């Protein structure tokens, strides 16, 4: 009979172990105790007290330096002498670089080649040695592991490390000290889970009655899916708008803690986050990044769902590393996210006097006349005209009523307020159909913003296919939203699927979308 091993697995740290780790965390050599500010305008609208934890005020405009520095500050002197390494395209990279500079250590930061120059320059300014490798975070991560082994560096994980988790938990410690009165819920964005698991560990140990709500983008919800499945789930693709939380698989330790301690999960979409960025700006005159506004978007959704009044909530503004070029996109989508703008496709007869009758119908809309925010028209049919129209509205639920009002007055209308194709592309492209675009398949893609992305697309296309439509708008992000019409033979389904698999870019087919059928 084989002898039993005398080696036992180390026990998993409890929430009380994390409580001690948070209380003794070494973060304030580099981090500041960020403010807990009231949001008066948002509070008046929601009829609840809203407090904003201002992690956008940190020296690197993000909470990430807390966990990174806490991990590095606990390293042995010989480890610091060898240096540290991480893989990151954003806030963690800056946190590691700043922490290493403070500790006098070498910091190697591996970033994907598609990383915007703004972020590369920010890391270099903090003393980090930038290595560009691979097309994605996963590629950069693999390269970082190779460098770690070759150069005997210490890897600083962005979230799945108890010392990193404890460093992020100091945010909860500050919140409960800064606000000792009634507190109903704290809303926290989730990427890999380091922030939410650290904060939840502290809150549930000290004030277990306070609800911890985890927030994810609806296209990057690896943690919520993992908790529902009872095991870690790896997503095939993640949305990149909120790039700070775009993680395909959460950590082992963060999953364990989050599953045990987080009370509820809320998913939010791009429009809701854009509206939340505007809400934060109105109350603070500061602009946070999409991931930084996710908690506010979820807080608003929570209030609307539960119809609460008189409660007190905290939303963590976890970062403000926003590319300036992206503000145009945010401003465009904020009104739709707040449902202050309705987008509709309206069909009217192509005859004299139709426009006049349509405008008269606007004056009789439920709730009174509306300002026209957008009006697009291009003649394309002898008998019918299709109009793409934007109207200002007072709030949620009005756009279907407006569409019904048009229908009652003889104008067929389709509500496009929540149609992604219409919001991203069609509103800029209204121009009518082309007789030359036979056998057209319409697809929306997310192209990586890097040299060669379009050439890869073209090289993989079949020689007998033709591009019949192409629309791209730069939004200051790490990816480009591209709409492509492709003329594919009727027997080409298998070849198209093979092409999309080999290409590897996130895509959605929109061939049957009504906005496409009407306007393009």
pLDDT value at residue 10: 58
Q: Could you tell me if 18 and 166 are in contact, meaning their C-beta atoms sit under 8 angstroms apart? A: yes
Q: For residues 250 and 235, what is the distance between their CA atoms, to the nearest angstrom?
A: 10
Instruction: Retrieve residue 419's tokens.
Output: 């149609």
Write down the mean pLDDT value for the chain: 88
Predicted confidence (pLDDT) at residue 331 exceeds the cutoff of 60: yes
Using one digit for the tens of pLDDT, what is the confidence trace for 382-427?
788 788 888 888 777 888 888 888 888 888 899 998 888 888 888 7
Task: Tell me what pLDDT residue 349 has.
Answer: 85
**Cα gap 126→120, rounded to integer Å:** 10
Q: pLDDT value at position 482?
A: 86
Residue 165 scores a pLDDT above 70: yes
pLDDT value of residue 7:
43
- Tens digits of residue pLDDT in 492-514: 889 999 999 999 888 999 999 98
Mean pLDDT of 485-489: 88
State pLDDT tens for residues 48-69.
999 999 999 999 999 999 999 9
175-206 residue pLDDT tens = 999 999 999 999 999 999 999 999 999 999 99
Q: How confident is residue 4, by pLDDT bands cut at 50, 70 and 90?
A: very low
Whole-number pLDDT of residue 157: 94
Strand-pairing partners, residue 304, are none
Tokens 């590897």, residue? Answer: 504
Q: Is the pLDDT of residue 6 over 60?
A: no
Q: Which helix (H) or strand (E) holds 254?
A: helix 252-261
Helix H or strand E encompassing 426 = none
CB–CB of 186/199 below 8 Å?
yes
* pLDDT tens digits, one per residue of 448-467: 766 677 888 888 888 888 88
Return the pLDDT at 475. Answer: 62
How far separated are the first and last CA of the chain, in Å rounded?
75
Q: What percent of the chain has pLDDT over 70?
A: 95
Strands of 312-317's sheet, edge to edge? 36-38, 49-54, 312-317, 185-189, 211-217, 264-268
Long-range Cβ contact pairs of 349-352 (< 8 A, separation 24 or more): 349/383, 349/384, 349/385, 350/379, 350/381, 350/382, 350/383, 350/384, 350/385
Give the 3-state secondary structure of residue 481: strand
What local confidence, expressed as pLDDT, does residue 431 receive? 72
Instruction: Identify which has the larger pLDDT, 91 or 376.
Output: 91
Q: Work out the number of other CB atoms within 10 angstroms of the CB of residue 71.
A: 27
pLDDT of residue 451: 63
Q: How confident is the model at residue 1 (pLDDT cuts 50, 70, 90)?
A: very low
For the stretch 345-392, pLDDT in tens is 888 887 777 777 887 887 778 777 777 777 887 767 778 878 888 888
Model confidence over 217-246: pLDDT tens digits? Answer: 998 999 999 999 999 999 888 877 888 888
């Amino acid at each position: 009979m084989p002898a039993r091993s005398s080696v036992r697995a180390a026990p998993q740290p409890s929430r009380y172990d994390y409580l001690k780790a948070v209380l003794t965390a070494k973060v304030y050599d580099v981090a500041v105790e960020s403010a807990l500010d009231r949001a008066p305008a948002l509070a008046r609208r929601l009829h609840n007290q809203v407090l904003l934890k201002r992690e956008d005020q940190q020296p690197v405009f993000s909470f990430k330096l807390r966990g990174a520095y806490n991990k590095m500050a606990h390293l042995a002197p010989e480890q610091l002498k060898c240096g540290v390494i991480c893989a990151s395209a954003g806030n963690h990279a800056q946190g590691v670089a700043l922490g290493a500079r403070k500790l006098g250590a070498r910091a190697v930061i591996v970033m994907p080649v598609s990383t915007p120059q703004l972020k590369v320059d920010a890391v270099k300014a903090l003393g980090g040695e930038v290595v560009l490798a691979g097309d994605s975070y996963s590629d950069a991560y693999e390269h970082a592991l190779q460098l770690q082994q070759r150069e005997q560096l210490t890897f600083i994980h962005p979230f799945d490390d108890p010392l990193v988790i404890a460093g992020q938990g100091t945010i909860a410690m500050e919140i409960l000290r800064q606000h000792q009165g009634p507190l109903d819920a704290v809303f926290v964005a989730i990427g890999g889970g380091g922030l939410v698991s650290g904060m939840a560990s502290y809150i549930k140990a000290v004030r277990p009655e306070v609800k911890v709500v985890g927030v994810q983008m609806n296209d990057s919800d690896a943690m919520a899916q993992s908790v529902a499945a009872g095991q870690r789930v790896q997503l095939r693709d993640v949305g990149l708008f909120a790039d700070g939380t775009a993680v395909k698989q959460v950590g082992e330790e963060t999953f364990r803690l989050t599953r045990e301690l987080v009370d509820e999960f809320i998913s939010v979409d791009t429009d809701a986050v854009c509206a939340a960025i505007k809400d934060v700006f109105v109350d603070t005159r500061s602009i946070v990044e999409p991931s930084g506004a996710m908690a506010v978007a979820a807080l608003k959704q929570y209030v609307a769902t539960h119809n609460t009044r008189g409660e007190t909530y905290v939303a963590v503004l976890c970062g403000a590393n926003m590319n300036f070029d992206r503000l145009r996109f945010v401003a465009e989508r904020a009104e739709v996210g707040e449902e202050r703008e309705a987008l509709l496709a309206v069909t009217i007869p192509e005859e004299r006097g139709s426009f006049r009758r349509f405008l008269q119908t606007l004056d009789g809309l439920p709730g009174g006349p509306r300002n026209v925010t957008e009006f697009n028209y291009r003649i394309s049919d002898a008998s019918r005209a299709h109009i793409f129209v934007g109207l200002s509205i007072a709030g949620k639920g009005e756009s279907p009523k407006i569409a019904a009002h048009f229908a009652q007055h003889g104008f067929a209308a389709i509500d496009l307020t929540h149609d992604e194709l219409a919001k991203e592309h069609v509103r800029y492209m209204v121009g009518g159909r082309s007789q030359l675009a036979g056998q057209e398949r319409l697809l929306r893609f997310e192209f990586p913003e890097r040299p060669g992305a379009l050439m890869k697309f073209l090289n993989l296309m079949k020689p007998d296919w033709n591009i019949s439509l192409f629309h791209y708008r730069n939004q200051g992000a790490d990816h480009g939203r591209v709409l492509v019409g492709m003329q594919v033979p009727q027997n080409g389904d298998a070849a198209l699927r093979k092409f999309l698999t080999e290409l590897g870019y996130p895509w959605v087919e929109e061939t049957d979308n009504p906005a496409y059928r009407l306007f393009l």
